[in-house]
A and B are shown apart, each in its own frame.
Chain A
Amino acid sequence: MYSSNSKNLNISLSINDEERSVVVRPANTLLSVIREGLGLTGTKPGCYNGDCGACTVDVDGVPIKSCLMLAVEGVGKKITTIEGLRNTPVQKSFVEHFAFQCGYCTPGFIINCNALIQKHPNAKDEIIEEWLESNICRCTGYKEIEEAIKSVITAKSEEQL
């Protein structure tokens, strides 16, 4: 939770290709600083303890649940939130495949999928499952999300041919 008191630190975070300086308590999670300190509300809280994946951000290419990481641990790392992604194949595919309804889980899923295709451009089913089971979607039946990510992977592998 974000609050200010005497033990505040001034840190600089690289978020979405911008250097942002922000005042934090040592105990602040990256999630609370992203939202309340920097106003990037695309990153969503859903449980604050690592269970739901709604708060997923990309840290140096790895999807991380920002509620489980301290803001101070983010110093010197390259952080990407949903606001840092625009017109990516994953975003387009999510829209086209109706891969969300209420949209609350969507930033977390998109960040996760985006990191997945960078790391495993030809990911097989097991890999996709292993990566995406960390996020909960309560609206869809996951089928549309599966179709969205798979269509990006198929398009990528066709490009490579």
Chain B
Amino acid sequence: MDILGKSIIRKEALDKATGKAKYTADDLSVSMLHAKMNISPYAHARITHIDTSEAWKLSGVRAILAGEQFPLTGEEIRDRPPIAYDRVRYCGEVVAVIVADSPAIAKSASNLIKVTYEPLPVVNSPSEAYKINAPLVHENINSYHREKGVYPEANTNIANRTKIRKGNMELGWRKSEIVVEANFSFSPSDHAAMETRCAIAEIREDETVIITSSSQSPFMIKKLMHTYFDIDIGKVIVNTPLVGGAYGGKASVQLELIAYLASKAVNGRKVKVLNSREEDLITSPVHIGLDATIKLGCTKDGVLQAAEILYLFDGGAYSDKAVDISRAGAVDCTGPYRINNIWCDALCMYTNHPYAAPFRGFGHSEVTFAFERTMDILGNKMKMDPLLLRSTNAILSGDTTPTQVLVNKSNVGNVSECISRLKKIINWDEGKIEKVSDTKVRAKGICCTWKNSTIDPHAGSGVTLTFNPDGSMNLISGVVEIGTATKSVLAQMLADKMKMDIHKIYVQMEVNTLSTPEHWKTVSSRGTFMAGRALLSAADDVIYQLKKLAACILRCSNEDLEVGFGRVFLRDNPELYLNIKDICYGYKYPNGNAVGGQIIGKGHYIQRHITYFDQDTGRGNPGPEWTVAAQGVVVELDRSDYTYKIIRAITVVDIGKILNEKAALGQVMGGMSMGLSFAGRETFIFDQQGKIINPQLRTYRPLRFGEHPQYDVEFVQTPVIDGPYGARSVGEHGLIGMPAALANSLSLAAGVELNQLPLIPELIWKTKEGVTHDTI
């Protein structure tokens, strides 16, 4: 049965094509109350007074939460009040929550709340935050509770510093005959999932808290509800139906806390909080920004010798996941190259911007943009072909990564192979730039990428398998179906293991933390890897149990039996068999005696040999494997007005093993689209006071149909020994190199180094013509 690699249609496809698929906000029970948030118009201000008297006069208002001190929250550092208290630190922060009979009443009431603010000085970028006398976003960072391995610096805006110290910098610079240095920057932007975040909470009479949320982290919600509010962990039940796009943005826990507090304020009645688009863009956590400085040196032959890197991540007003993102940026702070001497400081900075959530690529597209631009600048200076420069330095077995993990053939994919395939597809030898008309040029830009995961060292996944009386199977996993088709891929693996028809496998799409085995979080492209391993072990468990029971009935040993095609049969005589349907709920002898019992398979996976990072050197093992890729973009730039069209976007990625071809292609192309959109046009525009002036999809404008280029995706398959069937992760990797490749192609086309994002024509014009004043 050759089901692996096949483009099997996702299990929930028909529901999605007919409008029957249910998402969190589709719960419309009449008994439910509705909460609306009142948000801050200021980026940094003291709240001097909140007057709710007018709002209370509206009939249908059931509760108003404002000016109350709730426990501080935050995943790495507990620095964030779930509802602002005393002070707001970003434009869009929740100041009050109104619970009412309908969303309309809650909204009207919110408009009647009068908040008096006293503006405070604003920290408007991570570089500003880094300055010696910068205003402090948090005065007493050290008083906050924090997790292991988090290093805030007192009396600064530094929430965390990750240090990478590898090799000997002095030696590295001495060997460097060519050295370049450059600065890069971009502001926060957003995930802009089409489904805005939504959370529903109710509290039962026995204090059981039931939450339904559009989340990538139902099991983390449960843990955090316990940590923050001291609720017995078993009394928190989280449901997650299908999720309408996540991209990391729904890994953060925010609205769930508000929904819980709101429900508590109305005696545990069910309360729904649904973000408006504006709230989803700025109130809920965003895609992180970055300021970076990179100094890079190599020999005359282009052999990299030293990299000195400063990454200032724009963590925003609260640290939450930004600490982790900045750490991940440090772990893979260079491209996938052999560099013996590396010095990197990756800082998570507090600013008065919305705080950051993970974003597809988790810090990698951001640092790759800066690093791979520097590679091109280096190549330019020494007049070396950019692809040659990369293949000269491609990381190989025996080299070490920035955190000093020894590379072998399994744990890192094949960079050289990706580069040589890209070279062909992009027709590199035909030239990098050509004139296509009087004003237009076509140019190619490329880059290389890699990414491991940096999730909790002990993160794991569990799967249970049960049977129906006809021998068909039920697959239950804690992975959230966010659009990646992971659970359908799990079904493919099960069909392969059991040698059965995939249509006889039923997949539970929803997650319920009471009955679904835990999957740590559906993040970091680790769904297939971790849940896949758990699934394989659950399938082995089922097979073992079936054989054991059949061995007793058929009077043979387990070893003599095979499972497949709905049967347990003798290896050397398949004609002697038992139907699985006749034994999966126990076997009944003709006289009525029964043996066995229902067969329930269980399997789990926990990451192996992952470590924390040494505080002084960063030494440590981040995750099980690196997926690598080589990517390219072809643009056509009109030099008369700096408008451009993206003609082609190319990714060659080492996926380990293709499990579902079209689903994998979809992941890669979707990532590329999002990466090009982020690089080419997406950014929040902050005014001088840190106020966001484009919190709508007409002013914050993602790529639309017709603006997409031609996509070319190819897969290299270098198996990772520990992965299910050798598969590597791939959900984020299409995105990672797009900003760098686009910037490299446009820099070549425009004849000027473009080191900021987004790459709008105005930026190219300003850089080219040396215009410094701001036109906004």
Contact = CB atoms under 8 A, between A and B. Distances in A.
A140 B484 CA distance: 10
B741 to A, nearest CB: 15
A102 B13 CA distance: 10
Interface string B676-698: 00000000000000000000111
A46 B672 CA distance: 22
A138 B245 contact: yes
Contact of A42 (B20, B482, B484, B663): B20
A110 B102 contact: no
A146 B19 contact: no
Contacts of A47: 277, 696-697
A49 B696 contact: yes
B14 interface: yes
Given A46-B194, A46-B196, A96-B9, A101 B484 contact: yes
B670 A101 contact: yes
B151 interface: no
B711 A141 contact: yes
A132 B703 CA distance: 12
B705 A145 contact: yes
A136 B674 CA distance: 12
Contacts of A144: 666, 669
B244 A141 contact: no
B705 A133 contact: yes
A100 B17 contact: yes
Nearest to A131: B705
Contacts of B665: 98
A133 B704 contact: yes
Of the candidates B15, B25, B697, the one having the most CB atoms from chain A within 10 angstroms of its own CB is B697
Contacts of B711: 141, 143
A52 interface: yes
B243 interface: yes
Nearest to B59: A5
A83 B18 contact: yes
Interface in A50-74: 51-52, 54
Interface of B (DSSP majority class):
loop
B13 A95 contact: yes
A95 B277 contact: no
A3 B483 contact: no
B2 interface: no
B263 to A, nearest CB: 20
B194 A54 contact: yes
Given A1-B103, A136-B194, A43 B483 contact: no
A11 interface: no
Contacts of B103: 1-3
Contact of B245 (A39, A85, A104, A146): A104
Contacts of B10: 98
Give the bracket for the number of chain A residues in contact with chain B: 35 or more
Interface in A88-104: 91, 94-96, 98, 100-104
B277 A44 contact: no
A139 B19 contact: no
A115 to B, nearest CB: 15
Interface in A2-43: 2-4, 35-36, 39-43
Give the bracket for the number of chain B residues in contact with chain A: 35 or more
Contacts of A104: 23, 193-195, 244-245
B716 interface: no
A138 B104 contact: no
A106 B697 CA distance: 18
A113 to B, nearest CB: 11
Interface string B100-138: 011111010000000000000000000000000000000
Interface of A (DSSP majority class):
loop
Interface string B1-16: 0000001011011111
B348 to A, nearest CB: 26
B183 interface: no
Contact of A51 (B14, B17, B277): B277
Given A95-B9, A138-B674, A132 B705 contact: yes
Nearest to B662: A98
Contacts of B184: none
B206 interface: no
B247 to A, nearest CB: 7
Contacts of B104: 1-3
A138 B192 contact: yes
Of the candidates B28, B60, B246, B706, the one having the most CB atoms from chain A within 10 angstroms of its own CB is B706
Nearest to A142: B708
Nearest to B196: A46
B485 interface: yes
Contacts of B193: 102, 104, 138
Nearest to A86: B18
B572 interface: no
Nearest to B481: A102
B242 interface: yes
Nearest to B23: A104
B21 interface: yes
Interface in B83-109: 101-105, 107
Nearest to A145: B705
A79 interface: no
Given A36-B28, A49-B696, A98-B662, A91 B7 contact: no
B511 to A, nearest CB: 15
B194 A42 contact: no
Given A104-B245, A143-B708, A41 B18 contact: no
Interface in B516-545: none
A137 interface: yes
A135 B707 CA distance: 12
Interface string B325-357: 000000000000000000000000000000000
A68 B17 CA distance: 23
Given A48-B276, A52-B697, A2 B702 contact: no
B670 A141 contact: yes
B28 A41 contact: yes
Contacts of B276: 48
A42 B706 contact: no
Contact of B706 (A3, A103, A133, A140): A133
A153 interface: no
Nearest to A140: B670
Interface in B219-278: 242-247, 276-277
A95 B245 contact: no
Interface string B268-290: 00000000110000000000000
Contact of A100 (B16, B672, B698): B16
A141 B669 contact: yes
Given A102-B244, A143-B669, A95 B484 contact: no
B673 interface: yes
Contacts of B766: none
A82 interface: yes
Contacts of B247: 138
Contact of B101 (A3, A96, A110, A143): A3
Instruction: List the 5 shortest-distance A-B pairs measured between CB atoms, nearest first.
Output: A42-B19, A104-B244, A103-B16, A102-B483, A82-B19
8 contacts: A1-B102, A96-B9, A101-B670, A103-B244, A104-B194, A105-B194, A133-B706, A141-B672
Interface of A: 1-4, 35-36, 39-49, 51-52, 54, 81-83, 85-86, 91, 94-96, 98, 100-107, 110, 129, 132-133, 135-146
Given A41-B28, A136-B194, A137-B194, 17 more contacts: A1-B102, A41-B19, A44-B23, A44-B194, A47-B696, A48-B276, A48-B277, A81-B19, A95-B14, A102-B242, A103-B244, A104-B194, A104-B245, A138-B245, A138-B247, A139-B670, A146-B708
